């Protein structure tokens, strides 16, 4: 049976590739580990690319098993659409695409251009991101396009833009980590979320370096740290201000650097003066002695880095949290110095490129602002349209989803499973059901695709060519190794076909991703994220090219800020920040903090990894991490079932008793759908600047499972 299935489903190696081992990159996270793919017994198999400098021959278990999905029996192989009885049934491509074009047009005629919306993804290649943004602005003429990166990178992006005038996640290559004397890791559990990155931390430790981790859990990453500050969830800004207070008090700041390379320090000094260590201990739960130790390690090191992850970013004050950590990096004179500085660890495969090229509501390619008249003129000229035709900024991701069924009547989702991954997901699911028309392009029938009127089967990573920008800002090339199964189209083909049906044939007549890339280079020229000097050939030759890459920097820019910042006067900006409480705090009825995140074996909403047997074996369902003292108090043993209840919804989970979590906190991973989707419980409070939802904190109640509960 197995072998018959394999024969039916076996992907066909692209004709020119038979017998070859093709260099490509992992379909999942922002490490974009280099891998080789080849055909063994007619099945695609991946192995690490030993010569790619970022992962240096290592892969995590998700990467090792990624090729299994290419010929997975549940893969979508033909378009689906609702029949008269409301059931999803196979239809032809012509029928599926025509239904989308017709319904979008009808809805826009009746309700206006902005009633049709697009939801994109940091999983898409730069070429797809670029065409999706162009499709929104000139095929549909809608302001409403946003993407899942809003749930991921938006707070870090906003903070970097404010402080440095530009947003490149890491302004240095990951290899620099090995040479930093001290590293402060804030709310990142890269031991589970980017295992191959840990080789640089191991080298750093072997070189005598120190690691300080700030996380409410003793995560796998914190377990190896020199110091672990197990802070109260949501208290990062107080903690950072407290550390800066001690640095100033103990004379460990770099006045010369502050004077020559930054501005606005005096206001910060005034505010952090009020963050007395004993008061910070009360807010954060971190002992004063530990705060002092961390400050002294950071302040006295020859080189120091501050790296942040989603723990401190996915909060309603995420931008402020990051600005307060950036203040430390600037005050100690680190940014732009060797083996030092501030960086965020970007999450999705193309989380970096995905936030630069126009699928964000307020943005045009090259990190241009859609509100900037000169940027509008430039892009209109590249696209051959009138600048007045381009819409203005639209709604951010959560606000867009929250407007479904009211202002927005039709939606196309490409690369996201919002029913599982959006906050307050029960509400978002009900909004999706209120739409007049939903189309989803995916590889599998995800929980979101299940609700669609039309589902389009998309090609996977190894079946199409395209560039991605990894967490270092290094642009890499995924080559095409296998043919998509018959009946499957690439996202680019889908967008071009729809563009044609919407009357914009000449503007969406691309023959290949490479042709898109040539237009895209022109589109980014002169922008902050300038890719104009990058070619597919240069990427292959240099093992990736760091943006900006243009006439002034023809080989790219591995390290930024060495001379100046991207602000108008070239100086970095301090921001005076006061700590604010999370949107929802524990109280007598909901006495615990609920925080959410990831486990090693699963990726995001789980559409892909929940279909790989080995990964399911590692984690078959989400477990709620609870401290032994709480389990004792509630009379619960390991593996017992509990209800978790928040102000939005309730769901049942098995518990995992572990001393690594704080007594006041429960942690649940978000990779599962249906009854076990933790996002049914999370709070959609948004950061006022980035519009990032507060995935990391809400108030929760634990109820023993025998008790029945209204959900
Ligand atoms: N295995 C796996 N790897 C992945 C992914 C995946 O889904 N699975 N997704 C990729 C993507 S898109 C992303 S964005 C990255 C995310 O990578 P990470 O940021 O490493 O992942 P998270 O688990 O979301 O959060 C990290 C930590 O934040 C902590 N935290 C919670 N609340 C707070 C707080 O108030 N303050 C601080 N300082 N910390 C807090 C949590 O305890 C957790 O250990 O991973 C990428 N890699
Ligand atoms: N509670 C909680 N919720 C969270 C987070 C958290 O920490 N806690 N983290 C947030 C973060 S950081 C992120 S990045 C989001 C991610 O959450 P999602 O946006 O849901 O991301 P994925 O699960 O990667 O969804 C990708 C979907 O698109 C499909 N897909 C993948 N690549 C492509 C492609 O190239 N083309 C097409 N057409 N389809 C593709 C996959 O099969 C999958 O169904 O979740 C957010 N939600
Ligand atoms: S670390 Fe990320 S890119 Fe590397 S193999 Fe794992 S999932 Fe893939
Ligand atoms: Mo993410």
Residue nearest to atom 6 of ligand 2 (CA): 597
* Residues 479, 397 share a domain: yes
Q: Coil, helix or strand for 86?
A: coil
- Count of CB atoms situated within 10 Å of the CB of 434: 12
- Tell me the CA–centroid distance for residue 417 and ligand 2, in Å: 6
The sign of the CA dihedral 354, 360, 364, 366 is: negative
Mutational pocket test of ligand 3: of 62, 201, 471, 614, the residue with most ligand atoms within 8 Å of the beta carbon: 62
CB distance 323 to 287 below 8 Å: no
We report the CATH number of the domain holding residue 48 as 2.20.25.90
Could you tell me if residue 456 is inside a domain?
A: yes
Of 318, 344, 370, which residue is a domain's last? 344
For residues 335-342, average pLDDT: 98
Give 88's strand partners: 82
We report the CATH number of the domain holding residue 624 as 2.40.40.20
Read off the DSSP letter of residue 348.
B
CB distance 143 to 371 below 8 Å: no
Which ligand 2 atom minimizes the distance to the CA of 27?
32
- The whole-angstrom separation of Cα 393 and Cα 161 is 18
Question: Which residues have CB under 8 Å from 517's CB, separation 6+?
Answer: 126, 127, 467, 536
* Mean pLDDT of all residues belonging to the chain: 96
Residue nearest to atom 3 of ligand 1 (CA): 193
Quick: pLDDT tens for 663-674.
Answer: 999 999 999 999
* Residues 120, 33 share a domain: no
Could you tell me if residue 411 is inside a domain?
A: yes
For residues 359-373, average pLDDT: 97
pLDDT exceeding 90 applies to what percent of the chain?
Answer: 95
* Residues 274, 209 share a domain: yes
What separation in angstroms does the CA of 130 have from each of 96, 136, 308, 466, 561? 23, 10, 27, 12, 27
Rg (CA), the chain: 25
Residues lining ion ligand 4 (Cβ < 5 A) are 152, 347-348
pLDDT at residue 705, rounded to an integer: 80
- The whole-angstrom separation of Cα 362 and Cα 375 is 12
Mutational pocket test of ligand 2: of 69, 75, 151, the residue with most ligand atoms within 8 Å of the beta carbon: 151
Could you tell me if residue 685 is inside a domain?
A: yes
Could you tell me if residue 534 is inside a domain?
A: no
Residue nearest to atom 37 of ligand 2 (CA): 415
pLDDT at residue 604, rounded to an integer: 98
Which ligand 1 atom minimizes the distance to the CA of 671?
7
Quick: pLDDT tens for 304-331.
Answer: 999 999 999 999 999 999 999 999 999 9
Q: Containing H/E element for 471?
A: none
Which ligand 2 atom minimizes the distance to the CA of 420?
20
Q: What is the DSSP string of 573-637?
A: E---------SS---SSS-EEEEEE--TT--TT-TTGGG-HHHHHH-SS-EEEE-HHHHHHHT--
What separation in angstroms does the CA of 545 have from each of 55, 200, 332, 479, 525? 16, 20, 30, 16, 15
Residue pointed to by tokens 């100086």:
571
Q: What is the pTM of this model?
A: 0.96
- The whole-angstrom separation of Cα 116 and Cα 58 is 43
Angle at 147 between CA 146 and CA 152, to 5 degrees: 130
Question: Which residues have CB under 8 Å from 318's CB, separation 6+?
Answer: 155, 156, 159, 312, 687, 690, 692
Q: Containing H/E element for 152?
A: none
Pocket of ligand 2 contains residue 667 by CB under 6 Å: no
* Residues 680, 631 share a domain: yes
- Tell me the CA–centroid distance for residue 28 and ligand 3, in Å: 6
Of 506, 525, 553, which residue is a domain's last? 506
- Tell me the CA–centroid distance for residue 174 and ligand 1, in Å: 18
CB distance 213 to 221 below 8 Å: yes
pLDDT at residue 537, rounded to an integer: 98
Question: Which residues have CB under 8 Å from 708's CB, separation 6+?
Answer: none
Pocket of ligand 3 contains residue 476 by CB under 6 Å: no
| Ligand sitting nearest the alpha carbon of 148 | 2
What separation, in Å, do the N-terminal and C-terminal C-alpha atoms of the chain show? 43
Give 466's strand partners: 478
pLDDT at residue 42, rounded to an integer: 78
Binning pLDDT at 50, 70 and 90, where does residue 39 land? Answer: confident
We report the CATH number of the domain holding residue 410 as 3.40.50.740
* Residues 117, 30 share a domain: no
For residues 611-626, average pLDDT: 98
| Ligand sitting nearest the alpha carbon of 463 | 2
* Residues 330, 383 share a domain: no
Buried b (16+ CB within 10 A) or exposed e, 183-199: bbbbbbbbbbbbbbbbb
Could you tell me if residue 453 is inside a domain?
A: yes
Torsion angles phi and psi, residue 115, rounded to 5 = -75, -10
Does pLDDT of 55 surpass 70? yes
* Residues 490, 433 share a domain: yes
Angle at 183 between CA 180 and CA 187, to 5 degrees: 150
Q: What's the order of all strands across the beta sheet hosting 145-147?
A: 88-90, 80-82, 454-457, 437-442, 410-414, 116-120, 145-147
Could you tell me if residue 120 is inside a domain?
A: yes
Quick: pLDDT tens for 409-431.
Answer: 999 999 999 999 999 999 999 99
Of 69, 92, 113, which residue is a domain's last? 69
Does pLDDT of 156 surpass 70? yes
For residues 94-102, average pLDDT: 98
- The whole-angstrom separation of Cα 463 and Cα 13 is 9
Pocket of ligand 2 contains residue 463 by CB under 6 Å: no
Give 38's strand partners: 45
Pocket of ligand 3 contains residue 34 by CB under 6 Å: no
* Residues 372, 330 share a domain: no
* Residues 109, 216 share a domain: no
pLDDT at residue 22, rounded to an integer: 92
Give 44's strand partners: 39
* Residues 238, 122 share a domain: no
Find the helix packing angle between 154-164 and 318-331, rounded to 10°: 40
Which ligand 2 atom minimizes the distance to the CA of 422?
47
Give 475's strand partners: 469, 545
pLDDT at residue 709, rounded to an integer: 57
Does pLDDT of 498 surpass 80? yes
Mutational pocket test of ligand 3: of 56, 190, 194, 460, the residue with most ligand atoms within 8 Å of the beta carbon: 194
We report the CATH number of the domain holding residue 166 as 3.40.228.10
* Residues 263, 196 share a domain: yes
Q: Coil, helix or strand for 225?
A: coil
For residues 533-544, average pLDDT: 98
| Ligand sitting nearest the alpha carbon of 193 | 1
Least confident span in 14-28, 74-88, 167-181, 380-394: 14-28
- Tell me the CA–centroid distance for residue 74 and ligand 2, in Å: 18
Quick: pLDDT tens for 636-657.
Answer: 999 999 999 999 999 999 999 9
Does pLDDT of 26 surpass 60? yes
Read off the DSSP letter of residue 524.
H
- Tell me the CA–centroid distance for residue 599 and ligand 1, in Å: 9
Least confident span in 97-106, 114-123, 316-325, 481-490: 481-490
Pocket of ligand 3 contains residue 26 by CB under 6 Å: yes
- The whole-angstrom separation of Cα 452 and Cα 435 is 10
Could you tell me if residue 551 is inside a domain?
A: no
Quick: pLDDT tens for 189-246.
Answer: 999 999 999 999 999 999 999 999 999 999 999 999 999 999 999 999 999 999 999 9
Quick: pLDDT tens for 570-612.
Answer: 999 999 999 999 999 999 999 999 999 999 999 999 999 999 9
* Residues 169, 147 share a domain: no
Does pLDDT of 287 surpass 70? yes
Could you tell me if residue 600 is inside a domain?
A: yes
Which ligand 3 atom minimizes the distance to the CA of 32?
3
CB distance 338 to 372 below 8 Å: no
Residue nearest to atom 26 of ligand 1 (CA): 188
Give the count of domains, the chain. Answer: 4
pLDDT at residue 43, rounded to an integer: 85
Q: Coil, helix or strand for 458?
A: strand
Q: What are the structure tokens assigned to 303, written together? A: 């080189």
Pocket of ligand 2 contains residue 339 by CB under 6 Å: no
Binning pLDDT at 50, 70 and 90, where does residue 40 land? Answer: confident
Domain that holds residue 84: 80-152+350-506
Question: Which residues have CB under 8 Å from 247's CB, separation 6+?
Answer: 253, 295, 298, 299, 328, 331, 332
CB distance 589 to 698 below 8 Å: no
Binning pLDDT at 50, 70 and 90, where does residue 18 land? Answer: low
CB distance 185 to 309 below 8 Å: yes
- The whole-angstrom separation of Cα 160 and Cα 168 is 8
Residue nearest to atom 8 of ligand 3 (CA): 63
**What is the maximal distance between C-alpha atoms in the chain?**
74
pLDDT at residue 20, rounded to an integer: 81
Pocket of ligand 3 contains residue 391 by CB under 6 Å: no
Does pLDDT of 86 surpass 50? yes
Residue nearest to atom 34 of ligand 2 (CA): 415
Binning pLDDT at 50, 70 and 90, where does residue 702 land? Answer: very high
Contacts by 515-521, CB closer than 8 A, 24 or more apart: 516/127, 516/130, 516/131, 516/492, 517/126, 517/127, 517/467, 519/130, 519/382, 520/126, 520/127, 520/130, 520/357, 520/365
């Amino acid at each position: 049976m197995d072998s018959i299935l394999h024969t039916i489903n076996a992907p066909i190696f692209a004709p020119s590739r038979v017998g070859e081992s093709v260099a490509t990159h992992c379909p999942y996270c922002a490490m974009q580990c280099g891998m080789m793919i080849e055909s063994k017994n007619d099945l695609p198999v991946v192995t690490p690319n030993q010569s790619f400098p970022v992962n240096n021959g290592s892969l995590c278990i998700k990467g090792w098993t990624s090729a299994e999905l290419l010929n997975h029996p549940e893969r979508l192989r033909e378009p689906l659409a609702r029949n008269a009885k409301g059931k999803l049934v196979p239809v032809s491509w012509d029928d599926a695409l025509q239904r989308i074009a017709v319904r979008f047009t009808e809805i826009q005629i009746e309700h206006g251009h902005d009633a049709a919306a697009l939801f994109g993804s940091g999983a898409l290649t730069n070429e797809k991101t670029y065409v999706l943004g162009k499709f929104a602005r000139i095929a549909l003429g809608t302001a409403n396009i946003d993407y899942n990166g809003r749930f991921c990178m938006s707070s870090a992006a906003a903070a970097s833009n404010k402080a440095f005038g530009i947003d490149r996640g890491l302004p240095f290559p990951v290899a620099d980590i090995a040479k930093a004397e001290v590293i402060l890791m804030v709310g990142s559990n890269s031991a589970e979320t980017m295992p191959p990155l840990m080789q640089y931390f191991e080298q750093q430790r072997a070189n005598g370096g120190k690691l300080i981790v700030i996380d409410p859990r003793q995560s796998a990453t914190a377990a190896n740290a020199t110091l672990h500050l197990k802070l109260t969830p949501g208290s990062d800004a107080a903690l950072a201000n407290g550390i800066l207070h001690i640095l100033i008090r103990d004379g460990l700041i770099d006045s010369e650097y502050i004077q020559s390379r930054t501005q606005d320090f005096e206001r910060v000094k005034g505010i952090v003066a009020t963050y007395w260590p004993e008061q910070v201990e009360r807010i954060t739960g971190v002992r004063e002695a530990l705060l002092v130790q961390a400050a002294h390690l950071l302040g006295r090191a020859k080189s120091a880095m501050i790296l942040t992850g989603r723990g401190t970013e996915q909060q309603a004050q995420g931008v402020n949290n990051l600005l307060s950590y950036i203040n430390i990096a600037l005050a100690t004179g680190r940014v732009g110095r060797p083996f030092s500085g501030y960086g965020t660890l970007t999450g999705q495969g193309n989380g970096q490129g995905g936030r630069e090229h126009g699928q964000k509501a307020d943005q045009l390619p090259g990190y241009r602002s859609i509100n900037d008249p000169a940027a509008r003129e430039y892009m209109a000229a590249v696209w051959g349209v009138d600048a007045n035709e381009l819409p203005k900024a639209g709604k951010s991701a959560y606000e867009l989803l929250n407007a479904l069924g009211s202002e927005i009547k039709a939606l196309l989702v490409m690369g996201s499973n919002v029913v599982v991954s959006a906050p307050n997901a029960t509400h978002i699911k009900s909004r999706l059901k209120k739409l007049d028309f939903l189309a989803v392009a995916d590889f599998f029938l995800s929980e979101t695709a299940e609700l669609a009127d039309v589902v389009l089967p998309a090609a996977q990573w190894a079946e199409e060519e395209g560039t991605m920008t990894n967490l270092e800002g290094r642009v890499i090339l995924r080559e095409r190794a296998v043919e998509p199964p018959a009946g499957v189209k690439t996202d680019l083909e889908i967008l071009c076909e729809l563009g044609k049906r919407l009357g914009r044939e000449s503007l969406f007549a691309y023959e290949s991703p490479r042709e898109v890339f040539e237009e895209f280079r022109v589109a980014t020229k002169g922008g902050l994220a300038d890719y104009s000097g990058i070619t597919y050939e240069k990427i292959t030759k240099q093992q990736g090219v760091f943006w900006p890459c243009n006439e002034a920097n023809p080989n790219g820019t591995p390290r930024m800020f060495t001379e100046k910042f991207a602000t108008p006067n070239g100086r970095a900006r301090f921001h005076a920040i006061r700590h604010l409480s999370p949107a929802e705090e524990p109280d007598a009825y909901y006495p615990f903090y609920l925080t959410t995140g990831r486990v090693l074996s699963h990726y995001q909403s789980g559409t892909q990894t929940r279909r790989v047997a080995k990964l399911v074996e590692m984690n078959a369902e989400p477990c709620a991490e609870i401290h032994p003292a709480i389990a004792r108090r509630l009379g619960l043993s390991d593996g017992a079932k509990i209800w978790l209840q928040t102000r939005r919804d309730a769901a049942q989970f098995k518990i995992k008793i572990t001393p690594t979590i704080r007594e006041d906190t429960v942690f649940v991973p978000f990779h599962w759908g249906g009854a076990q989707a933790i996002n049914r419980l999370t709070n959609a409070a948004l950061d006022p600047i980035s519009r990032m939802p507060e995935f990391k904190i809400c108030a929760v109640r634990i109820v023993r499972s025998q008790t029945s509960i209204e959900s």
